Amino acid sequence: MKLSYCVGIDLGSTTTKAVVLGEDSEVLGRGITNSRSNYDVACQVALSEALINTRFSLVAGELEAAGVEAVRRAEEVAALERGFRGQQYRSQLRALERTLERLARRLLTRPPALQAALERILASMEAEVEALYAQGARRKSDFFRDLAGSRYLALAEQEARATGVGFDVLAGLFDKGILEVENSAEAAGRFEDHARAAAAGLARSLPELLPAVERAARVELEQVSSVGTGYGRQRLPFPEAQVRSEILCHGLGAHALFPGTRTVLDIGGQDTKAIQVDEQGIVTSFQMNDRCAAGCGRYLGYIADEMSLGLHELGPLASESKSPVRINSTCTVFAGAELRERLSLGEKREDILAGLHRAIILRAMSLLARSGGVRDEFTFTGGVAKNQAAVEALRLLLRELRPVDGQHLRRLDLHRRPGGLAVRPARRAPEGRVSAGGGR
């Protein structure tokens, strides 16, 4: 059996995303990975993840054809994916172990206990895999680099204290080794191998799963079309006619999800865009920030690193703030220094973060004003739209807006729909003030 598909890839500065569409335009699979320093590899990995996700969709279809009812079908596919990811993680751990051993042998000054320390660290990480991917387990990230990095460094610190092997040596080896492993398609392994192993482990309780995996694995996936966008789109291996700007794609994408959209705010890893679109989703005007990454996802990444937090933890922590700190600058270069200064003055982390999120949205609001303001339904896109503190800051700032160039904005109310959040016009705001809400 052959399945034709179209792939869309967004090669962003922080993450690379891929979407696989069937011939009926139905989304079959999605993939995401860190963009890394090698854009070509990032595209390959994102597409590979999207095709793996497509295979899970095919497994679900096979189970449906076998008469498995919807709730049980969802449970079986979820169990299969947990098992698959566990097998994939083990494969990458083994690749990391081989890489670290090779790099350790090259060291000019190699502590005698180094090899034993590496073996203990990797053995401990291997022993944790089952619990890491157990049902109900919460992981801080789905990226191998993030998951393995946090545990490796914690265990390396313990080894350094217990054995005297330098922490800087252990950490330096990891920094070199992880680049090789995450850029290797072989380290991640194949769908067929990991899915079969996972299904075999579930065969006693879920006997229909293994035959469904076998049938899904035999389907030939054929790429017939492609389209690319994103910050690094010029590096995509697509014909020039199939590469489009992020501005065009965000405008049309927002319109596809929310047909009433007239204003789009996109805050990504490297830039911020305020976009106005017509009733067909065609861009009529836009404004972008300069080449500085201030006020974008990259800035939040630096803040997360300074606080030793995951990027996904910033929003929830900032939402706990009772008294946000006033931040006047979102300069990425000085982010760490300003953060340390605020902490030294006794400011709470959550209050500092709340102030930082407000400063980011204030910067974005100036772009919105220059692009033409907020008209009718307003849509918030980009990675920062997943940050709850950024969404709340946007909602509050829209409520505080005053007329821009004599144009009174409409009141905007928050609505949830499949695929995200949007704000829609409700009624004309009283003269001279605006009440608004925002979302993705």
Q: What CATH code is carried by the domain that includes residue 43?
A: 3.30.420
Q: Is 79 within the bounds of a domain?
A: no
Do residues 289 and 348 share a domain? yes
Q: How far apart are CA 19 and CA 8, in angstroms?
A: 5
Do residues 283 and 226 share a domain? no
Do residues 265 and 360 share a domain? yes
Confidence of residue 42 (pLDDT cuts 50, 70, 90): confident
Q: Is 401 within the bounds of a domain?
A: yes
Q: Is 440 within the bounds of a domain?
A: no
The residue among 13 and 55 whose pLDDT is bigger is 55
Do residues 99 and 225 share a domain? no
Q: Is 6 within the bounds of a domain?
A: yes
Do residues 238 and 338 share a domain? no
Do residues 54 and 170 share a domain? no
Q: Is 75 within the bounds of a domain?
A: no
Do residues 328 and 416 share a domain? yes
Do residues 299 and 419 share a domain? yes
Q: Is 230 within the bounds of a domain?
A: yes
Strand partners, 6: 21, 225
Do residues 229 and 329 share a domain? no
Q: Is 279 within the bounds of a domain?
A: yes
Q: How far apart are CA 5 and CA 101, in angstroms?
A: 41
Q: Is 108 within the bounds of a domain?
A: yes
Contacts of 405 (CB under 8 A, 6+ apart): 373
Do residues 89 and 131 share a domain? yes
Domain membership of residue 366 as a residue range:
246-428
* Alpha-helix residue ranges (DSSP H) falling in 164-269: 167-182, 185-188, 191-201, 209-217, 246-257
pLDDT digit string (tens) for 197-248? 999 989 888 899 999 999 999 999 999 999 999 888 888 878 888 999 989 9
Strand-pair category, 272-277 with 261-267: antiparallel
Strand residue runs (E) in 22-141: 27-34
pLDDT digit string (tens) for 43-59? 888 899 999 999 999 99
Is there a contact between 219 and 58 (Cβ–Cβ < 8 Å)? yes
pLDDT digit string (tens) for 302-329? 888 778 777 778 899 999 998 888 876 6
Question: Domain count of the chain?
Answer: 3
